Chains A and B, each alone.
Chain A
Amino acid sequence: MSLTVAISGQGSVTVTGLPVGSYTVTELTGWSWRYEPDRASAAVVLQPGKDNTVTFMNEKTNLYWLDGDSCKDNIFDTKG
């Protein structure tokens, strides 16, 4: 399975309901091009009843050019 989540700034996200097993968490560096993560990806082995945390530290390395960002989160109700 593959799942993409969006995190703004110094935010975080909790993913629940993952089956026990091995996972690879990767930061999509193509989006945040000004920043360099401290690692490309992290391997996680989920075990029953145990929470795991993965942290990516990003350093601003590209100071050139002008850019801007915006993000909007929409929560939907189902029809009917």
Chain B
Amino acid sequence: MNHERDGAWSRRRPRPVRRRQWALAILSAFCLLASAASLAVLHTGTGPLTNLFQPGQVSCRVLEGADGSTFDGVTKTDVRIRNTGNTDAYIRAAIAVTWVAADGDVFAGKPQAGVDYTVTYSENEGWEPGFDGFWYYTRPVAAGADTADLIKSLSAVNSPEGFRLSVKIAASSIQASPGKAVIDNWTAVESVNGTSLVIKKEGA
């Protein structure tokens, strides 16, 4: 069988292999020349480009008083948070009020607002208390910008012997886009409406 097949094969007319090989070689050479010419045009027609990428940075700082003012030890005013990063961010704050001794120990008693200290929070300026006890600034803050005041004024009134009022203000910022970042990680954020945070309130 194989012999017959070989015989049939040998009876066929020989193909013009050499001509086709030449045609293929000429076509390949033409393509190479064409691509070389294209590369040359691209190379000479485009100047060098340097792409600089700046990594995103999210950070914040607690500010108090008017710019340049110093704390007089009695009354704290205009407490706000600055977005010190290079991209829009959402900001929230936690306030811990305690009595502290000179060595930093915290007294077990809890200072009472309106009795041991007076505090005035800003109203309708974007800050909302969440069910978790933290304050949320519902609008995104541009890089370098400040939130509205969280605390307008805070003063100590009474303190137990050997202790002074301590007000610790912690601030936290997170990238504003995409909204999934803040929804997934800040517990009191229910959703983002446009660019405003919808906050879960206590008892809601």
A interface list, Cβ under 8 A from B: 1-6, 8, 13-19, 28, 30-31, 33, 62, 64-79
Inter-chain CA distance A71–B106, complex, in Å, is 17
The segment out of B12-20, B34-42, B181-189 that lies at the interface is B181-189
In the complex, B140 has a CB within 8 A of chain A = no
For this complex, 17 residue pairs linking A to B, each with C-beta atoms less than 8 Å apart, are A3-B108, A14-B105, A15-B108, A28-B133, A30-B186, A31-B94, A31-B172, A68-B58, A69-B172, A70-B171, A71-B169, A72-B64, A72-B169, A73-B169, A76-B154, A76-B156, A78-B158
Q: Digit string of B41-75 for contact with A (CB within 8 Å is 1, else 0)?
A: 00000000000000011111110100000010110
Docked-complex contact A74 and B166, CB < 8 angstroms: yes
Q: Which B residues lie within 8 Å of A71 (CB)? A: 62, 168-171
A72 to chain B, nearest CB (A): 4
Total count of chain B residues near the partner, CB < 8 A: 56
Could you tell me the distance between the alpha carbons of A14 and B102 in the complex, rounded to whole angstroms?
Answer: 12
B167 with A66: CB separation less than 8 A: no
B80-120 vs A, Cβ < 8 Å mask (1 yes, 0 no): 01001101010000101010110011111110000001000
* A68 and B64 within 8 A (CB): no
| Closest residue on chain A to residue B169 by CB atoms | A72
Given A3-B108, A76-B117: A69 touches B170 (CB 8 Å cut-off): yes
Q: Report the nearest A residue to B100, measured CB to CB.
A: A75
Known: A30-B187, A31-B172. A76 touches B58 (CB 8 A): no
Q: Is the CB of A70 within 8 A of B60?
A: yes
Q: Are A16 and B169 in contact (CB under 8 A)?
A: no
Indicate if the CB atoms of A77 and B73 lie closer than 8 Å: yes
